[in-house]
Amino acid sequence: MARRRDATMEDVANHAGVALSSVSRVLNDHPDVSDRMKQRVMGAIADVGYEPNLLASSLRRGSTKTIGFLASDISNPLFAEIALGAERRLDEAEYTMVLTNSEGSGERDEEMIRLLRWRRTDGLILSVSDERRAGTLVELARLDVPVVLIDRDVKGLDDASVVTSDHARGMRSAVDHLIELGHTDIALISGPRQLRPARERLRVFRRAFRDQQLEPPEHLLRIGSFSAQSGEQATLDLLASDRPPTAMIAGGNLLLTGVLRALRRRKLTVGRDIALVSCDEVPLTELHSPPITVIARDAVHMGDLAAELLLERLVGDAEPRRAVVPTSLIVRDSTKKARRR
């Protein structure tokens, strides 16, 4: 591990007895290079064990072939799948992904965006932790590279592409489904209003009731964080209330685990004692007993799309645009039986 000085293009040039620029041309497949030159240079490269220094070429070219990715928590399967989809697509286009976590903190959102700017990433894929934060907008405004937001609406940021999912449609089907089963005391446990998915779900949740001439059960709304702990607490709270829900909607996979923990503690059986719908498909929803009805979307595809929208602007210099990923309600036994009180 003795940091021996790496061979540079100059070493190659000397070894081959040619000019530095010729080496560069060979390496970059410049049209005007004789076969003989190519041979000599390639030979020398092998001889001296040359390896390109992407740092130097990035500096000179003004492009790093690197994309920054920011999410609150990569260990959340939702973000992990998005990251996977994005990385795959970017890799095809020879871009490398730099991963950062904001740990749900708006302050870290800012820090990370600044860091990525300083590192001169060619573009950003962001799912910020707080859409409303002024500082984040400032950091974003300083950026002069394309940005793609994932399931976020940042007011004032007009030149970003956006990949959203159609939460409205999914939530609408879920509520309609529950109402049709006879439920009206439906609880919604969701994340903070600073985030688009939570806002959308809440909006459509209420709307769905009104459209059926029903009053939305405001007392059954629980807006907290997206964590398991928050889900567990909210559920215990709901169950202890005067008029507990006969059905619940959990707005995310972490919330779901919290909800299930709480139900287990209260010895309630999903599907029999209480109906349950969750958002985002994970192994648990499919393999739970009974299987859990879920508002699903293709997270890997969202990542893929985000990368695609970015590449459009990077390579094809297209305009920013919005893409919407569909959601669909997968009905399972957790909502099969109706229960009226």
Partner DNA sequence: TTGTAAGCGTTATCAT
Partner DNA sequence: ATGATAACGCTTACAA
Pattern 179-218, binding to its own copies, x per CB under 8 A?
----------------------------------------
Measured from the CB of residue 29, what is the shortest distance to DNA in angstroms? 11
Judge whether 131 and 195 are in contact, CB under 8 Å. yes
State in angstroms the smallest separation of the CB of 223 from its own copies: 22
| Residues linked to residue 279 through DSSP beta bridges, in sequence order | 295
Tell me phi and psi for residue 239, to 5 degrees.
-70, -25
Name which of 97 and 202 has its Cβ closer to its own copies.
97
Residue 288 touches its own copies, criterion: CB under 8 A = yes
From its own copies, DNA, none, which one binds at residue 236 (CB under 5 to 8 Å depending on kind)?
none
Residue 134 interacts, among its own copies, DNA, none and using kind-specific CB cut-offs from 5 to 8 Å, with: none
Structure tokens at 45: 């490269």
Q: From the CB of 194, what's the least distance to DNA, in Å?
A: 33
Question: What is the C-alpha to C-alpha distance for residues 290 and 335, in angstroms, rounded to an integer?
Answer: 9
Question: Minimal distance in Å, beta carbon 42 to DNA?
Answer: 12
Within the chain, where are the H helices? 9-16, 20-27, 35-48, 54-61, 77-92, 106-118, 134-142, 167-180, 196-211, 228-239, 253-265, 283-287, 299-314
Site residues for its own copies, 241-270, by CB under 8 A, read 253, 256-257, 260-261, 264
319 binds, among its own copies, DNA, none (CB under 5 to 8 A by kind): none
Count other Cβ atoms within 10 Å, centred on residue 329. 20
CB of 20 to its own copies, least distance (A): 17
By CB under 7 A, residue 47 contacts DNA:
no
Closest to 336 (Cα-Cα) out of 277, 250, 261: 277
74 binds its own copies (CB under 8 A): yes
Give the list of residues 6+ apart from residue 79 with CB closer than 8 angstroms, or none: 71, 72, 73, 127
Choosing among its own copies, DNA, none, which partner's interface includes residue 159 (Cβ < 5 to 8 Å by kind)?
its own copies
**Of the candidates 64, 129, 184, 190, which one interacts with its own copies according to CB under 8 A?**
64
Binding pattern for the stretch 17-46 against DNA, x by CB under 7 A and - elsewhere? xxxxxx-xx-xx--xxxx-xx---------
Which residues from 24-53 bind its own copies, rule CB under 8 A?
49, 51-53
106 touches its own copies by CB under 8 A: no
H helix or E strand, kind and range, residue 324:
strand 322-325
Q: Residue 336: is it exposed, middle or buried by C-beta count within 10 angstroms (0-12/13-18/19+)?
A: middle
CA 248 to chain centre: 25
Q: Which stretch binds its own copies (CB under 8 A): 19-27, 143-151, 229-237, 327-335?
A: 143-151
Closest CA to 70 of 156, 153, 147: 147
- Return all residues near 43 (Cβ < 8 A) that are at least 6 apart: 16
Identify whether the C-beta of residue 71 lies closer than 8 Å to the C-beta of residue 127: yes
Binding site for its own copies (CB under 8 A): 1-4, 6, 49, 51-56, 58-59, 64, 66, 69, 73-77, 80-81, 83-84, 87-88, 91, 96-101, 103, 115, 117-120, 142, 144-146, 159, 253, 256-257, 260-261, 264, 282-284, 286-289, 300
